[in-house]
């Protein structure tokens, strides 16, 4: 029997983390467990509400229900959210894949 890796992919989150993870939980109830989530658009949002949502996950007040991988800042104002330019964990279960993202961008040039 083959074990298939189930991966979810999301586009722009725009800082709506509560909405994202509620949706993920609902999808997993219907389709079973997924091992990871890739967010390929703008992960962070603008404004106080988006910052407050991020802080809840960053500090562990809210738990991230799935291993989440994000590619990087698409907008200059989001660069401050990526403390480690080489990639790494931004919050528990949220990982920034800068090296991979940079290599793919270079290969596409």
Please report the pLDDT score of residue 16 as a whole number. Answer: 96
Closest alpha carbon to 73 in 62, 63, 59, 87: 87
Put simply, whether the predicted model's pTM sits higher than 0.85 gets the answer no
Please report the pLDDT score of residue 96 as a whole number. Answer: 84
Please report the pLDDT score of residue 13 as a whole number. Answer: 93
Averaged in consecutive runs of 10 residues, what is the pLDDT profile of the chain (109 residues)? 83 94 96 94 88 94 95 61 65 80 54
Please report the pLDDT score of residue 26 as a whole number. Answer: 97
Please report the pLDDT score of residue 106 as a whole number. Answer: 56
For the sheet containing 36-39, what is the strand order?
A: 7-10, 36-39, 67-70, 94-96, 88-91
């Amino acid at each position: 029997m083959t074990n298939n890796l189930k991966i979810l992919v999301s586009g722009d989150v725009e800082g709506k983390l509560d909405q994202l993870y509620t949706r993920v939980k609902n999808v997993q109830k219907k389709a079973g467990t997924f091992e990871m989530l890739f967010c390929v658009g703008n992960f962070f949002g603008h404004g106080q509400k988006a910052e407050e949502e991020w802080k809840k996950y960053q500090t562990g007040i809210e738990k991230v229900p799935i291993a989440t991988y994000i590619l990087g800042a698409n907008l200059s104002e989001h660069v401050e959210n990526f403390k480690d330019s080489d990639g790494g964990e931004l919050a528990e279960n949220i990982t920034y894949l800068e090296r991979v993202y940079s290599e793919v961008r270079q290969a596409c040039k």
